[in-house]
Amino acid sequence: DSQLLVASSAFSKDVYKALIRKNASDKETLLVSRLTVVAITIIAIFLAMDPNSSIFDIVSYAWAGFGATFGPVIIAALFWRRSSRNGAVAAMIGGLLTVIGWKQLSGGVFDVYELLPGFIIASICMVVFSLLEKHPDESVFKDFDVFIAIED
């Protein structure tokens, strides 16, 4: 149940309130959070009802989704000065959709674990959509350089 709460809270605040509807009230955000719990639960039940699946397959699929959705975004945010919010959103959507699509194709022609194509597509989306934006202000680069200097 804690994973459901974390996922629903992250979606309602980090996606819905931050990207979809910035002026959403607390009541509306709570409703979205509750609906997200229901949606995730239904998806989990649907996945668990498959008689051909195992716990390992489900966990592997989940980690492929997490890795392809968030991996390139985190790496770019930490190491690439030109990474942007739109690039991150595009990467998360591209990575997740690729993992889901690849899994439905049962690994495609080469029977490759869905994390690999998802990670590659997400990385491409991150770069392309970040570069399509106008060049950020120099102040953004200064903040990034200060952060990197702290690490050294």
SS3 content of the chain, % helix, strand, coil (to 5): 80, 0, 20
Question: What would the two tokens of residue 18 be?
Answer: 């931050």
- CA–CA distance, 143 with 87 (Å, rounded to integer): 19
pLDDT value for 52: 76
pLDDT value for 32: 93
Question: What would the two tokens of residue 98 be?
Answer: 């690729």
Each residue's pLDDT, cut to its tens digit, for the chain (152 residues) gives 678 888 888 889 888 888 888 899 999 999 999 999 999 899 888 877 877 777 788 888 889 999 999 999 999 988 888 899 899 999 999 999 999 999 888 755 578 889 999 999 999 999 999 999 887 777 767 777 776 677 65
pLDDT value for 120: 97
The model carries a pTM of: 0.67
Distance between alpha carbon 30 and the CA centroid of its chain, in Å? Answer: 21
Residue 142's alpha-carbon distances to 29, 103, 121, 149, in angstroms, are 34, 41, 29, 10
Q: Are 100 and 61 in contact (CB under 8 A)?
A: no
